[in-house]
Amino acid sequence: MQFRILSLLILVSSLIPYLSWGKTNHTFLFQAEWLVLNKLTSTPSEVMHPLIIVPLLSQFLIVIFGIIFPKTPMVYLGILGLYILIAFILFAGFLSGNIWIVLSCAPFIVCSTLFILFAKKE
C-alpha cells in the first residue's frame, strides 16, 4: 500500500514545478502538460521532442507499474525519466535565481527519495 501511495505522490509532485521565462510568461507544469496533450491528439509532430515525450512516457510507467501493477524496477525508470525534466527545471531556477522555481521542484525530489528509500526496505 505504501508503494502505491508514494507512486501517486511522485506522479502528483511531477506536475507541480513552476516555469517562468521572460518578464510576463509563467506556468505550472500541469498546465503545460495539458497543452501538450491537446496538441498530441491534434498535431503530434509539433510535440515530438525528447524533453516532452520521455516525461510523458515516464508518467505512464508510474501509473501502470507504480499504482495499478506495482513493479519496482519500472517505477525507477519512470522516476529517472521525470528526473531528467525536473533537473533541467531546477537548473534553470538556479541559473535565473528564481527561488519559486527551485522550491517547486522540491516535492518531486523528496517524494522520489522517499520512494527509493522505502522500496529498498521491501
**Residue 122's pLDDT is what?**
65
Q: pTM score, two decimals?
A: 0.85
Nearest to 57 by CA among 14, 92, 110: 14
**Residue 47's pLDDT is what?**
84
The stretches in the chain having pLDDT less than 50 are none
What is the residue type of 10?
A: I
C-alpha to C-alpha distance for 12 and 89, rounded to whole angstroms: 16
**Residue 48's pLDDT is what?**
87
**Residue 96's pLDDT is what?**
92
**Residue 21's pLDDT is what?**
87
